[in-house]
């Protein structure tokens, strides 16, 4: 399990997170929701070990994340931030191969791993194209393939590995949003623990196993998507005039704007 306990983070005396408890379980797709400025990216960075909290602790498999050796941590958790800048004209394959950095793999093992993740994100035909020539959505999918290579996501059992994603759908069209969400569901079914920062509350409710809802750096809801049926937190936190519906196939909650 990857967990935060009593997490407090501030910047120039302004609180960003306050007494936050969060956990990502093996085999779980956790959706992290909240308005702009709620602290979602800050929480992701703290869980990744990239931002040290003022108070509280982050643990990976019961050990403080700051105590993990760098390479071992990189093999156990991977992070995809919102914007990944690569100023060099690397090919798509070369960018994905960056995920191999924590591992010592020879070409006979490394090549099929890279190819399998490119196929997973639908970019096999672009393997030799320059990364800088791709659209924003294509670049996002290349980066997703890179972090999947980092976690050796071709293995059958992914228990004990964690993937942290900050708005991975932001640049994707509807087809690729659905494809990525189905991919994440499939990976979680094989034991991978996934945290996904997302803005679309409907997609979060439809695909997530659990939802963590932040507001002003505090946890306002932590429960299954079905439990959102019995909560007014979405309407209250987003301060939007919404109609709550049920998905016709799953009966999970969905929201629409009132005109």
Per residue of the chain (259 residues), give pLDDT as tens: 999 999 999 998 899 999 999 999 999 999 999 999 999 999 999 999 999 999 999 999 999 999 999 999 999 999 999 877 887 889 999 999 999 999 887 767 888 999 999 999 999 999 999 999 999 999 999 999 999 999 988 888 999 999 999 999 998 999 999 999 999 999 999 999 999 999 999 999 999 999 999 999 999 999 998 888 777 889 889 988 999 999 999 999 999 999 8
> Which tokens go with 58?
């982050």
pTM of the model: 0.94
Q: What share of the chain is helix, strand, coil (3-state, %, to 5)?
A: 35, 30, 35
User: Which two structure tokens, joined as six digits, stand for 10?
Assistant: 């501030």
- The sign of the dihedral angle between the CA atoms of 201, 204, 206, 211 is negative
Helix (H) or strand (E) holding 84: none
Which domains can be identified in the chain, with CATH numbers?
Answer: 2-257 (3.40.50.300)
């Amino acid at each position: 399990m990857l967990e935060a306990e009593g997490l407090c983070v501030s910047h120039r005396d302004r609180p960003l997170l306050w007494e936050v408890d969060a956990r990502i379980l093996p085999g779980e797709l956790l959706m992290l929701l909240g308005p702009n400025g709620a602290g979602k990216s800050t929480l992701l960075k703290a869980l990744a070990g990239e931002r040290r909290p003022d108070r509280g602790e982050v643990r990976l498999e019961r050990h403080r994340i700051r105590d993990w050796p760098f390479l071992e941590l990189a093999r156990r958790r991977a992070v995809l931030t919102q914007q990944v800048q690569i100023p060099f004209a690397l090919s798509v394959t070369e960018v994905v191969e960056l995920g191999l950095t924590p591992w010592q793999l020879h070409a006979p093992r490394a090549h099929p791993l890279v190819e399998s993740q490119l196929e997973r994100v639908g970019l096999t035909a672009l393997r030799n194209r320059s990364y800088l020539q791709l659209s924003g959505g294509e670049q996002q999918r290349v980066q997703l393939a890179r972090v999947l290579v980092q976690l050796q996501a071709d293995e059958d059992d992914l228990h004990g590995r964690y993937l942290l994603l900050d708005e991975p759908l932001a640049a994707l069209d509807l087809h690729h949003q659905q494809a990525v969400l189905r991919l994440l569901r499939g990976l979680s079914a094989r034991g991978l623990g996934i945290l996904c920062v997302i803005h679309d509350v409907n997609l979060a409710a439809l695909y997530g196993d659990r939802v963590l809802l932040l507001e002003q750096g505090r946890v306002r809801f932590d429960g299954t998507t079905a439990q959102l049926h019995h909560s007014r937190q979405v309407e209250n936190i987003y301060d939007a005039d919404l109609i709550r519906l049920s998905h016709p196939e799953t009966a999970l909650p969905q929201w629409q704007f009132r005109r």
